[in-house]
Amino acid sequence: MNYELLCTQVIAISRMTGNFIRKESMNFNANAIEFKGLNDLVSYVDKTAELQLVDNLSKLIPGAGFTTEEDTPNSVGKTYNWIIDPLDGTTNFIHGVPTYSISIALYEEDKPVLGIVYEINRGEMFYTYKDAPAFLNNVEIRVSKRNRLADSLLATGFPYYQFDKQFQYMQLLSELMQKTHGLRRIGSAAVDLAYVACGRFDGFFEYNLNSYDVAGGAYLVQQAGGNIMNFSGGEEFIEQREILATNGCVDEELLEAIQRHFRA
């Protein structure tokens, strides 16, 4: 497999679908909103974008499986499997907040070999592939070198439908507000992870996420020199549906803070 060539092809597909999403954002009608569950929104834009991605990615690797967010039936490939979120940040999109993205990951034998996060409105294409560094618009990126939590800027996501851990979460936020340069909630986990990869954020944490929310961005962080783990410090961040991404320097402090509240 020529991963570099494949990545170039996936970038082109992502840009095409991104153009569709950007065009639809200009005249989006709120009446097109559907509800999958409490505060879990979707529209024809998500669904159409997903169909475009699946159709075009299927041509690159015939027989590959797909894990998707919307209506496309999931399947398992023998060797290769795509994990895609056609519009990460749907709530932002619906409300006209211009931060949302396309997230794509390719797994080979249960290991990531390609990751893309396309932040549509800023035109920022984050990408990486096996045996390569991470890039932003053709420029190599690395995680930050800040090694104290007190000097760090963190990102997170707020729970919007599963509130059983809300108290612990608010206690953790209260602690981190006092121990860092600040916390940001952008509304797209894929973008949060991409920003860790390029050094804008020093860490990101969130729970109750799905594989398509984090697979592409997590691989970017790893290829850019950062670390990915769950709230116990283990590797099963997708299975546990909790993720901590860091620059590799603030791991210990941040993990200790999280565990004080989530593992008590």
Q: Which position has the higher pLDDT, 161 or 205?
A: 205
Decide if pLDDT at 66 tops 60: yes
Identical fold between 3-140 and 149-262: no
The pLDDT tens digits of the residues spanning 131-184 come to 999 999 999 999 999 999 999 999 999 876 666 778 888 999 999 999 999 999
| Nearest 10 degrees: Cα torsion 117, 86, 55, 32 | -150
Distance between CA atoms of residues 32 and 2, nearest Å = 40
Q: Does CATH number 1.20.120.530 belong to domain 3-140?
A: no
Distance between CA atoms of residues 152 and 146, nearest Å = 7
Structural domain spans, the chain? 3-140, 149-262
The pLDDT tens digits of the residues spanning 11-48 come to 999 999 999 999 999 987 777 677 655 445 568 888 99
Q: Which CATH number fits domain 149-262: 3.40.1180.10, 3.30.70.20, 1.10.287.130, 3.40.190.80?
A: 3.40.190.80
Supply the angle between the helices 189-197 and 211-223 in degrees, to the nearest 10.
Answer: 0
230 forms beta bridges with none
Is pTM, for the whole model, over 0.85?
Answer: yes
